[in-house]
Every structure is written in structure tokens, then in C-alpha cells.
Structure 1
Amino acid sequence: MAVPTPLAPYVASVAAYDVDLGEPGIHRGLPSTSLTFVLPVDAPLEVSWAGRPASRTRGWSSVSGLHAAPAEIRHDGTQRGVQLALTPAGARALFGVPASALAGELLELGELSDLTPGLRNLPERLAGESDPTRWTDLVERELLRALVHHGDPSVPAAVGRALARLTRGAGVQEVAAEVGYSRRHLTTLVRAECGLAPKELQRVARFERSRVLLGRRPLAEVASRCGYADQAHLTREWGVLAGCPPTTWLREEFPFLQDLSVAGAEG
């Protein structure tokens, strides 16, 4: 659904979800150029980084920054709540911290120090709202209040341009020249803002583009269109970033993606 105009620079998407997967399982949370903010309803969200059981958290909210490894979300067969994708600028504007402070983290709202009371209390308020069609309105209202509270602490213009160009696939040296920084200085600024080095950000962005095309184009074509050397290169990168080959992800996730698409359309 469309994001209110004042939130558009900070919130890439917001959707209420209500999915029935039939049986308990594990959903893969894949790397993205957006931060992930989830507010589950009915049951706490149980999430960890793949292969790192000590990182497991279980709570009524989850905020994760940029990362270059898959997460594992355990579920009992059904999931309801609200999920948002935030831009790197959204971390400062809504939570009062740079996106780099959240990179590689799995945090609950209560662990963030500069939250507005409305955001901090969102899990309880969502639990008390019986009409799911009102969930996104409730979340968006509090995000707008948080934006006013933090005074729109924008990312420096040159850094913002660099982040946008890198996620669209431009080369690091090319971007450095465009914004007038040395490659080393650009790397320092980008890492300080989003938590990933330019090359890591490019890698995640390329992976994200390939995910959108999977199932719609032959793998060799996906590899070519997204900038991989060949299909084998794409498969190797998926093994690292998703923890499985792209064909496995499609087989595992298609029912979830289909249900989530329907839930989002109904919301």
C-alpha cells in the first residue's frame, strides 16, 4: 500500500500480513538494502541469524539493520502483524540513530533509547486493536509523530546520493568521482551511515535485484541482467547470502510469498 508522502523518504513499504502456512517451520529473512521493522500480533516473533543460535531473540517487535547473511524466523504455521522496510535515512528520522548502529543487529524497540512513547508502545496498542485494517494506519500515525520529534535529521546529501547510486549498481570509483570524495573517504562515510562498505552494499543490492526476478526469468537471464558473471556465480552468491541455492528458496518460499501478496492486497 502507498506510504504517506512525508514518510516516503524513510519508509520504503508498510504492509499488514496474515498468512497461514499450514504447519510450523522456518522462514528465511534475506539481506536487503532496506532495514526491517516487524510488529507481530498474536505471538512473539522468534528470529536469529542463520547458524548463530545464540543470536535468537523472541519479542513483540524486531528491528534489524542491513546485513549480508540470512536470518531465520521460526513460526507455528500462522503469522499476523505489520512489516515495514525502512530506508537507511529512516533509522535517523524515526529511531534517532544512524542505520550503522543497527547493522547486523536483531533488536526490540525497547532497546532503542531515543524512541517516542507512541513508537515504544506500538506492540501493546496493536495487540489491543481488533480490526487488522487499522493496523497500518496506527503504525503510520506514530511514525509521523516520530518524524516530527527527531526533526528530520537528514543524511548528508553527498552520502545519500552515493547510497542511491551504489544500490543501483554503479561502481565504487565512479560514485566516488561523482560525489567528489576519494574512494577511501567514500568507504568510510558509507560504512558510518549504513553499516556496510560500498562493495558489500553493492553485493546486497545485486542480490536483491536477482530475488525480484527469480521465478519470472530463466536463471541464466537473471544472472546476466543483475550483473553476475554467469549462473554459477549467481548460485554461489545465493549460497552465501541466502544460505541456499535460488531454486531451493523458490520451492520453500513460494507459498509464503503468495499468501503475503494476497494479505498485502487485502490490507
Structure 2
Amino acid sequence: MERAAPDWLRGQVVKYRGRRTPGGMPARLTLPGATVTMIVGWGDPLHLFGAGESESAGGAWYSLVGGLRTSPVLGGYRGSGQAVEVDFTPLGAYMCLGISMHHLANETVHPDELLGKRWTERLTERLAAAPDWEARWALLDDALASLLADGPVPSPVVAEAWSRLSARHGGMTLGELAGATGRGGRRLQVLFREQIGLPLQSVARILRFQRALTLPYGSHGSLAELAAACGYYDQAHLNRDFKALAGLTPAQLCGLANQTPLDGTAAVEGSRTSVFNR
């Protein structure tokens, strides 16, 4: 179950998702993407494994906030649980959570640490008591509206740089973005770290990776053609980035997709996982 963000939230939130697991579910591999995810759950917890660069994600989580990552995470439910997920744009997360986003880079934390225990408890109670998903979406609308009203305003420079970089699927260099925004590269890097979370080059790499996941492999005939269409220097470059971000080559990821559910979160288009199917 999912719903696109309402029009007034489109710049801050990509979508809401609802999950209900009556008695466990297969583990799902979440690939690096350009969204920040908040999960608020009740019932049995979500179990996370394979946290990659950070050990913070491992263990059982009823609720969590996960920042931008450069490695995959494997997670699933062992029992009966329900949860809502909010996929924020990086700037939307900055505005709602009100912290420097580098604190969340490659990290998973409980919402209590960011918004207070009472905020999480109150929202969880209301979501659990809601009669249906539409009522839960309305509760999320209200909760996020309150956070945005009190949150920081992102730098117009970062907003412009993010818009340009995401529109080009990561296909701009630091120098090109600095020239387009009229700011020095060093200043742009500082702002990206604070309000997006990862260095600009890492964000560009993730966007390019997500572009490769989103384009249908079969329509390009070969991985070399897919690599060229996505802005990689060559197929070897594509293979290196896939290995770095997913821990697998494109061929290995394609094989895994036939066995394990994948969740690849794109900046604008949301979850795309069927990319490697011919």
C-alpha cells in the first residue's frame, strides 16, 4: 500500500508506504538511494542485517530513521507487524528533522533521538488506532506539516544544486555545479554535507546508480550500452559502482532479484527494482 505525497509536500516527500505482515516476510535488500526513510511501526519489529559501513542499523527496530547510504541493508519481519514509511527527499528530511544531515549519513537512528520520545509515541498510538490507510496518510500529513512549520529553511544554493544534479541523474561535476550556482566548490561541499548528508560526488554516484536501475536493461541490448546511457565511462565503470554500492555486479544483482525482493529507492521516481528484467 502506498500513496504519493500531497502536492504541498512534493518537494519534501516522495511517497508514503504502508506495510502489514501477518506472519513474517522474506528478507528485502534495500539498495542505496537518494531518499531518507522514516519508519514508524507497531506489532513485531523489523530486523535489519548487513548494515555495510555502519553497525548502527543491525538489530530489531520498531521505528527508525535511515539517512543516505553508500551500502545496502537487508531487512525483514519475523512475526506480525505493521508500519508506515515516509520517503523524504534529502532536503525534506533536513527541513523536518532539523539536524545536520551528515549525522544520518550511513546511519540508522530511532526517531526519539531526533524528534523526542513523546512525538514518536503519540504518532505511533494514533497510527495504530487509525481505521484504515487513508486515515494514516492524513495523520502523516498533519505530523509533517507541524515539523515543517518549525524546521529550518534549506540554502537556495543547495536547493538549486540538488535540483540540477537530480535532474541530470548525477551527471554533473562539482566544478559544473559550482559554476551553475555561482558558489565555490569547497562551499558547495560544506553545504551538501550539512543539508544533504553525503559528499556531492557520493550523491552523484548514487543518482547514476539509480538511473541504471531504472532504465530497462533489455532496451539497450548490452550492459555496455546501458553504461553509456547512464553516464558511466564504460561497462567496467558501471561494474565498479555496482560492486561498491550494492556489493554485487549487475549480473549478480540480476540473479539475486529473481530470489530476493529488492528495494531501490530513487530520488524522484520512488522504488524501482525490475530494471534488470528483459
Contact 2:43 2:80 in 1 (8 A): no
Q: Which one of 245, 249, 267 corresponds to residue 249 of structure 2?
A: 245
1:256 aligned residue: 261
Cα separation, 1, equivalents of 2:21 and 2:217: 21
- Deviation, 1:252, is 3.4
Write out aligned runs for 1:186-265 (5 A). 186-214=188-216, 217=219, 218=221, 219-253=223-257, 256=261
Of Structure 1 and Structure 2, which has the larger fraction of its residues in helix?
Answer: 1
Please show how residues 1-267 of structure 1 align to structure 2 within 5 Å.
1-18=3-20, 25-48=26-49, 49-50=51-52, 55-76=57-78, 80-112=82-114, 114=115, 117-150=118-151, 153-167=152-166, 168=168, 169-214=171-216, 217=219, 218=221, 219-253=223-257, 256=261
Moved more, 86-95 or 120-129: 120-129
CA distance in structure 2 between the aligned counterparts of 1:182 and 1:52, rounded to whole angstroms: 31
Give the gaps of 5 or more residues in structure 1: 259-263
C-alpha distance in 2, partners of 1:52/1:149? Answer: 30
Contact 1:162 1:179 in 2 (8 A): yes
**Structure 1 residues 128, 247: CA separation in 2 closer, same or farther (over 3 Å shift)?**
farther
The SS at the match of 2:106 is: coil
CA contact (8 A) 2:39 2:65 kept: yes
Q: Deviations over 1:137-172 (max 9, x none)?
A: 22222112222233xx22110121112223322221
- For 1:14-59, what per-residue CA distance to the aligned partner results, in whole angstroms no more than 9, with x for missing partners? 1223478x97543222111111112234321222413765641322
Instruction: Answer whether contact 2:56 2:108 (CA < 8 A) is retained.
Output: no
TM-score, normalising length from structure 1?
A: 0.82
1:203 alignment partner AA: R
Distance 2:173 2:53 in 1: 32
The CA distance in 2 between the partners of 1:116 and 1:97, in whole Å, is 16
Aligned residues: 255
Amino acid at match of 1:198: L
Higher deviation after alignment, 99-108 or 42-51 = 42-51
State how far apart, in whole Å, the 2-side matches of 1:215 and 1:156 are.
Answer: 37
Please tell me whether the aligned partners of residues 115 and 146 of structure 1 are also in contact (alpha carbons under 8 angstroms): no
- Cα drift, residue 76 of structure 1: 2.9
Which position in structure 2 is the counterpart of 1:261? none
Q: Which is further off, 217-226 or 45-54?
A: 45-54
Could you tell me how far apart the structure 1 residues matched to 2:62 and 2:53 are? 23
Cα deviations by residue, 1:177-222 (Å, 9 ceiling, x for unpaired): 1111222222222222222111111111111111112555443332
Could you report, residue by residue, the CA deviation over 1:38-83 in whole angstroms, capped at 9, with x for unpaired residues? 2234321222413765641322211011121112213338774222
Instruction: Calculate percent identity across the aligned residue pairs.
Output: 29
Distance 2:111 2:28 in 1: 22
Corresponding letter in the other structure for 1:248: Q
2:266 is aligned to: none
